[in-house]
Amino acid sequence: MRLLTLAILTIVTVLETPSARAQTYDPNYPVCMQTYGLDGGYIDCGYISQGQCAQSASGRAAQCISNPFFGGGRVPGGPYERRHRRGY
């Protein structure tokens, strides 16, 4: 009887365990914005600097955080990505 009870308890526990969530951090960007709301929040990683994120977070219930999964590789740039070096 104990074995049957233990088996049923184990099955119920496994079935009620929530599924794992996918990674919400984009490893291509160093800064993320975490937004808070009544229906839940979300994390948007798509910022190349704290200043850019701060401008997007201004006036909202949000904060800028460092991306813990950023690999330190090359950050995607915008129109000013190419900078010419001056020869000396």
Tell me the per-residue pLDDT of 26-70, one tens digit each, with 9 for 90 and over.
888 999 999 999 988 999 999 999 999 999 999 999 999 999 888
When pLDDT is cut at 50, 70 and 90, the band that residue 73 belongs to is low
Residue 59 included in any domain: yes
Three-state secondary structure along the chain?
CHHHHHHHHHHHHHHHCCCCCCCCCCCCCCEEEEECCCCCCEEEEEECCHHHHHHHHCCCCEEEEECCCCCCCCCCCCCCCCCCCCCC
Residue 42 included in any domain: yes
- Look at the chain and report how many structural domains it folds into: 1
Residue 54 included in any domain: yes
Residue 4 included in any domain: no
Predicted structure pTM score: 0.56
Mean predicted confidence (pLDDT) in 69-83: 63
